[in-house]
Amino acid sequence: MTENENQGIQSNGTDVQAEVSSSSDAAVKARTRVQLNKTLPDSRLMKFDQHLEALKAYVKAYQTYKRPLRYTDFQGLVSYNTQMVSGLNKFFEELGLVVGEKGQPGCYSPTEKLKEFVNALTWDENQAKTILASVVTTSWFWQDAKLLLETKGVVSEDDLLKRFGFTAGAQPQHKPALKCLLGYITYSELVKLGGQGYLLTSATTTPEQMQDMKSPGNPIPMDDPPKEGTENIVEKKSVGTVQLSHRCKMQVSLEIKVDSAMPTEKLREILQVIKEVLNE
């Protein structure tokens, strides 16, 4: 055997070994791919506005083609690669905004709820937000956010994303997708961003929850605290408790248990005394 032939065999052996190694790496990656507990949107579309583009495009394209849609039908209707719409379909379907076509993989049609939402966007965005809220409130991520906010009152973005990530079985690389979930509940005005974090809006407080909040031992949560330098005192009366918040050089919060039969004037006298003490 010549030296060249021997080198050729060695070279071929190296190629085969590299090929096997490459194949093995791919298999390991496939095995270690994260299996999510919940469907998340494509992480490449990091902004809620990009999702809004796709939702509008679904209705417009359906009006044009009048059939279930493939990603190629969105050409010219979204500002990003139309293939990325495919990465939103399963998420949209779980929200009840699109429905997959049986026997036609990759084909989806907008639901009546989505058509209603997009039509409202043209005339009254507030109404559109209400429609989207009726969809989002059925989602797992809203239930997660609602429970956390009802428990803590005010929650940071980081804490909300951690809760979403834990429930979804996600990894740090999924954070852009998790932030999109927050975009849905914020746009729908189910939550609002205050000075110290996110809190529930009044629209998301049901009469039953209000009754619970009036029970003894459950103070009525306050929104943003008074700005520094103000001398007003905020009071909210319930059957069981009163929560006060006063801000001078520091934030002071008190919770006072009161009798439901206590006259309002008597309560105001007590509040005035507390205010005077705090201002000293």
Q: Specify the range with the lowest mean pLDDT, choosing from 36-40, 55-59, 105-109, 270-274.
A: 270-274
pLDDT of 193 reads 93
Mean pLDDT of 7-34: 42
Q: 118 and 49 in one domain?
A: yes
Q: 239 and 161 in one domain?
A: no
pTM (global) more than 0.85: no
pLDDT of 268 reads 72
Q: 231 and 183 in one domain?
A: no
Residue 104 included in any domain: yes
- Residue at a domain's end among 174, 204, 234: 204
The full length of the chain comes to 280
Q: 176 and 44 in one domain?
A: yes
Q: How confident is the model at residue 197 (pLDDT cuts 50, 70, 90)?
A: very high
- How many helices (H) does the chain have, and how many strands (E)? 10, 7
pLDDT of 274 reads 73
Q: 111 and 246 in one domain?
A: no
The answer to whether the CB of 111 falls within 8 A of the CB of 100 is no
Whole-Å CA distances, 41 to 75, 98, 226, 234, 243: 20, 14, 38, 42, 41
Q: How confident is the model at residue 109 (pLDDT cuts 50, 70, 90)?
A: very high
Residue 180 included in any domain: yes
Q: Which residues contact 141 (CB under 8 A, 6 or more apart)?
A: 38, 164, 167, 181, 184, 185
Provide the domain count of the chain. 2
**Average pLDDT value over all residues in the chain:** 77
Q: 156 and 90 in one domain?
A: yes
pLDDT of 46 reads 86
Range of the domain at 238: 214-279
Residue 125 included in any domain: yes
Residue 1 included in any domain: no
Q: 164 and 182 in one domain?
A: yes
Q: Specify the range with the lowest mean pLDDT, choosing from 112-116, 165-169, 201-205, 238-242.
A: 238-242
Give the CA count within 13 Å in the CB-facing half-sphere of 90. Answer: 7
Mean pLDDT of 181-191: 96
* Phi (first) and psi of residue 200, to 5 degrees: -65, 145
- Residue at a domain's end among 204, 223, 242: 204
Q: 104 and 76 in one domain?
A: yes
Say yes or no to pLDDT of 35 above 90: no
Q: 57 and 109 in one domain?
A: yes
pLDDT of 257 reads 59
Residue 59 included in any domain: yes
Residue 11 included in any domain: no
User: If we measure between CA atoms, which residue out of 185, 223, 217, 179 comes closest to residue 204?
Assistant: 185
pLDDT tens per residue, range 43-60: 899 899 999 999 999 999
Q: 218 and 184 in one domain?
A: no
Say yes or no to pLDDT of 22 above 60: no
User: If we measure between CA atoms, which residue out of 209, 206, 214, 279 comes closest to residue 240?
Assistant: 214
Whole-Å CA distances, 112 to 67, 88, 277: 14, 18, 59
Share of the chain above pLDDT 90, in %: 57
- Residue at a domain's end among 151, 170, 204: 204
User: If we measure between CA atoms, which residue out of 209, 69, 58 comes closest to residue 119?
Assistant: 58
pLDDT tens per residue, range 262-278: 666 667 777 777 766 66
Q: 100 and 164 in one domain?
A: yes
Q: 85 and 51 in one domain?
A: yes
